[in-house]
């Protein structure tokens, strides 16, 4: 069992993180940006011990909650980072270090004048492209269909990525927000893959 303090990483904010050293091995790494209370992250990590999972959320309370649950489940392949997602993706992830990025039910910021606060925008596309390995993928889901349309437009316009079949979680992997919305409102899902050589 690993100590809580080891699972919540405290990186040097000015350097890309030494991910293999933080996880203690060189397994592929998947990223859950805005992991919330971690229902997806925990289920995924338990089902895939040969993969490392990094959960990022800006709320410390949520990071601590995921950490407590990971400790109870004795999951050694999870690390958690309390950090703003764009900053983490741009500055703390080494280039070509992430195999899969999941962004599920990010805050939609529905008012147009607040769109600049959304996780997903053209700057984020650049950060994502830098952090993904060639052939790495992004999976996105939201209940907010205008946000979904904007994200899909961004992905389809970006020739560095190719659209692929959307990721559909198993019941055990549904996030806390998805559990709330499923059956009440349509959910938009899209996925894309970083083209090799792009």
Ligand X SMILES: C[S@@+](CC[C@H](N)C(=O)[O-])C[C@H]1O[C@@H](n2cnc3c(N)ncnc32)[C@H](O)[C@@H]1O
Q: Which of 8, 52, 55, 62 binds ligand X (CB under 6 A)?
A: 62
Tokens at 75, concatenated:
């999951």
Gyration radius from the chain CA atoms: 16
Binding-residue pattern over the window 23 to 42 for ligand X, x denoting contact by CB under 6 A: -----------xxx------
Give me 14's structure tokens.
Answer: 């000015």
The answer to whether 68 and 42 have CB atoms below 8 angstroms apart is no
Report the residue number, 97 or 174, with the smaller CB distance to ligand X.
174
Q: Is 59 in the site for ligand X (CB under 6 A)?
A: yes
Q: Given the rule CB under 6 A, which of 5-13, 17-25, 46-54, 99-107 is the region that contacts ligand X?
A: 99-107
Binding mask 156-185 for ligand X (x = CB under 6 A): -------------------xxxx-------
By CB under 6 A, is residue 106 in contact with ligand X?
yes
Instruction: Report the C-alpha gap between 20 and 57 in whole angstroms.
Output: 20
Closest CB 147 distance from ligand X, rounded Å: 11
Stretch that binds ligand X, among 4-12, 52-60, 125-133, 186-194 (CB under 6 A): 52-60
| φ/ψ of residue 5, rounded to 5 | -60, -25
Binding-site member from 23, 53, 105, 140 for ligand X (CB under 6 A): 105
Q: Which of 107, 126, 150, 176 is catalytic?
A: 107
Q: How many CB atoms within 10 Å of residue 22?
A: 17
Rounded Cα distance between 128 and 136, Å, is 10
For 169: left if phi > 0, alpha if psi spans -120 to 50, otherwise beta; the answer is beta
32 is catalytic: no
């Amino acid at each position: 069992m690993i100590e809580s303090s080891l699972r919540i990483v405290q990186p040097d904010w000015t350097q890309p993180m030494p991910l293999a050293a933080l996880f203690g091995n060189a397994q592929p790494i998947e990223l859950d940006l805005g992991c919330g209370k971690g229902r997806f992250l925990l289920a995924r990590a338990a089902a895939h011990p040969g993969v490392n999972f990094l959960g990022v959320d800006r709320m410390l309370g949520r990071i601590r909650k995921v950490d407590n649950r990971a400790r109870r489940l004795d999951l050694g392949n999870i690390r958690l980072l309390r950090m703003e997602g764009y900053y983490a993706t741009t500055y703390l992830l080494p280039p070509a270090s992430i195999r899969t990025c999941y962004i599920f039910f990010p805050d939609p910021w529905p008012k147009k004048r607040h769109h600049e606060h959304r996780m997903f925008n053209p700057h984020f596309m650049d950060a994502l492209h830098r952090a993904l390995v060639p052939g790495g993928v992004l999976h996105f889901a939201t209940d907010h269909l205008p946000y979904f349309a904007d994200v899909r437009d961004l992905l389809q316009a970006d020739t560095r990525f190719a659209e692929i079949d959307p990721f559909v979680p198993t019941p055990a992997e549904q996030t806390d927000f998805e559990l709330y919305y499923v059956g009440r409102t349509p959910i938009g899902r899209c996925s894309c893959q970083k083209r090799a050589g792009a």
